[in-house]
Structure 1
């Protein structure tokens, strides 16, 4: 595995306690001080935040750690579930990495032909692509942006607040927190000494806690984790997210919305040498997913989260991989919305780019009841 920043890898090892010696101990001591400051500032921001309530219910989906836990697939699952039940949800999201964070933007999939992921942010662009006519509301000011969305589309009867657990300026009717069961709390330190955004006691605000990536946990380990979470969030429903069978979608199909070339990922990857690149919050999990399906990952490059590739970077990457004998390049859907802008330039190279697509579903009846407790007033 290679990375753009060897210092970042070293720092992660220091934070995890894998690096020993005077230098590592000195860095950890410095980070301990910063963690103390972060804790105080975070608490001050939470207690002094001015909270606003939108005129329709809000369900927040967020997490307590930095890095990818599976929020985006969970948002997709919940929006589809609500639409199937007859509701008209919209998604409120900051649009991190996009140029529209400050001014705000409201759009649906029908507007994507005139937009780019660099403008909307990669996650909002992907959500619009996956959720059809669902209204996507981008911007830092979620309350004001939500009011504007309601003026434009009065049929909206519920908002999903994406990555909202720490967005304290907007009241919500239900907090759903996603926890990666394979590394639930990192080293249990707050930023920047660890990867926690808030103390674990903050989980008491959650009404539903969903565990992802539980496949490799034993039943005892999963039960132990559930008991520990429940100690911090005694009122929350703790449930497991089921990961649907992963698929590989050719970039050209992903771009056009067709599914002619979609193939089961595990069957295709088993024993196959592939290349992989990504710019997501948890690149190691992406690599582990490929290796767990039997892929031989001969080249892996991790970029910063929300990284925007220039067209020449994509072309140079594909050209170099093809020249080194690779026939397949695997990326995530969040990478795909940026790679597809250079699709026409990639046609001539003997390399196929695939999107690894992961779907989530939740079947726990208690979770459904918590959601219904929010949505029932809409029907009454």
Structure 2
């Protein structure tokens, strides 16, 4: 029995056929109109200054998307924060903290594990978080996670991620589709990144780049992949991702795009014997863990359990049902457009009152690549 989440996705993507599915999509098409009107009015209010945006005395870089579900924001936030850290610029990450029950949510825990020297502040009022980061932490640049729709905090650069496996040209505004805003709002973006480009096919990526280039000719478009970096375990073990090749794997995840994780495993050469999904930002309970143990116990004796780092940081279990558990840690790697992307990041901090000039910074950055 599919969950409502799976049913909804298959419906809006046109995978469900028949008169009933057609009628439901038609109804959702009409329901999208009041939602779209509200989004349009809100954006125009910010564009024209009727709703004020808070500006802080340091640059703010937003990383976000246009769609519901995952596009790989966390690896991009990590890339941006690490870029500024390598430049010697004190960065802090600000996020809403969706899914947090007590303390940090899964994305914050992943960032803390991978970038322990970069502060991460969470809360619904990101303008207040920005002031705290500047006044108390002396941050020199702020990275706003999932911030494209959060217009209360003014930005100097908006990075918008587009999942190349889900082309914008064939999507609809919520609830008929997964668009949070009309595609035209990409005019606010300073750079667009097509993520998971390796999973979409070269022809599809080329068509999407051409489509975006015609609609937004002044906005650079880069392509990137979420490349598996290593496997990590609760016992501190780190293994190469190649160790999954040829192995039977039972996998589970609670992320916005579970299909992408499945493809990552198969691309690594793993034989996925069973695959379970949970809602995005799922808070695992004791009952969930016991259920996973029972599920894992039915896997082949030599199987490995694989999950995402976002799920792993909430569980921290070394085994399930007698099978070792490993998290796949991923990082963002550019296929093209990286220099233009990094150039936009450099422009944001070029006027910071620091002891070295931009040429010195560029030389040091090239030396760190």
TM bucket, shorter chain: 0.7 to 0.9
- Give the gaps of 5 or more residues in structure 2: 46-50, 355-369
CA shift for structure 1 position 32: 0.8
- Equivalent in the alignment of 2:245: 270
Per-residue Cα deviation, 1:194-241 (whole angstroms, up to 9, x for no partner): 011111111111111111111245544333211111223222111122
48-57 or 356-365, larger mean C-alpha shift:
356-365
Q: Aligned equivalents of 2:103 and 2:203: distance in 1?
A: 46
Instruction: Identify the residue that residue 266 of structure 2 maps to in structure 1.
Output: 291
- Corresponding residue SS for 2:352: helix
Q: Which residue of 1 aligns with 2:360?
A: none
Distance change >3 Å, CA 13–CA 220, structure 1 → 2: closer
CA distance in 2, matches of 1:225, 1:186: 8
Residues 300 and 348 of structure 1, relative CA distance in 2, 3 Å threshold: closer
Query: Is 1:144–2:128 an aligned residue pair?
Result: yes
Residue 256 (structure 2) pairs with residue 281 (structure 1): yes
Q: Which residue of 1 aligns with 2:119?
A: 135
Question: Is it true that 1:63 corresponds to 2:60 in the alignment?
Answer: no
| Contact 2:96 2:124 (8 Å CA) reproduced | yes
Please state if 1:160 is matched with 2:162: no
Which residue is 1:105 aligned to? none
> Match for residue 226 of structure 1?
209
Q: State the alpha-carbon separation in 2 of the partners of residues 209 and 348 from structure 1.
A: 40
SS at match of 1:229: helix
Corresponding residue pairs, total: 346
Q: CA RMSD in A?
A: 2.1
Runs ≥4 residues deviating over 4 A: 216-220, 346-349
Instruction: Give distance in 1, aligned partners of 2:349 and 2:219.
Output: 18
Tell me, what secondary structure is at the counterpart of 2:32? helix
TM-score norm. by structure 2 comes to 0.88
Instruction: Determine if the alignment matches structure 1 residue 373 to structure 2 residue 347.
Output: yes
Asked if 2 retains the 8 angstrom alpha-carbon contact of 1:16 and 1:187, the reply is no
Aligned to 2:5: 8
Deviations 1:232-268 (A, max 9, x none): 3222111122544542212322xxxxxxx32222x32
1:336 corresponds to which of 312, 337, 342: 312
Which of 73, 80, 83 is matched with 2:82 structurally?
80
Task: Give the whole-Å Cα distance in 2 for the aligned partners of 1:220 and 1:376.
Answer: 37
- Would the aligned equivalents of 2:296 and 2:321 in 1 still touch at CA under 8 Å? no
Matched, 1:357 2:329: yes
Question: Is 1:322 matched with 2:297?
Answer: yes
Q: 1:302 matched to which residue of 2?
A: 277
For the structure 1 residues 173 and 32, does the alpha-carbon distance in structure 2 shift closer, same or farther, using more than 3 Å as the test? Answer: same
Q: Which moved more, 1:225-234 or 1:212-221?
A: 212-221
Q: 1:62 to 1:310 in 2, by over 3 A?
A: same
Structure 1: gaps spanning 5 or more residues:
100-117, 254-260
**In 1, are the aligned partners of 2:199 and 2:263 still within 8 Å (CA)?**
no
How many angstroms apart in 1 are the aligned matches of 2:289 and 2:152? 39
1:249 maps to what in 2? 232
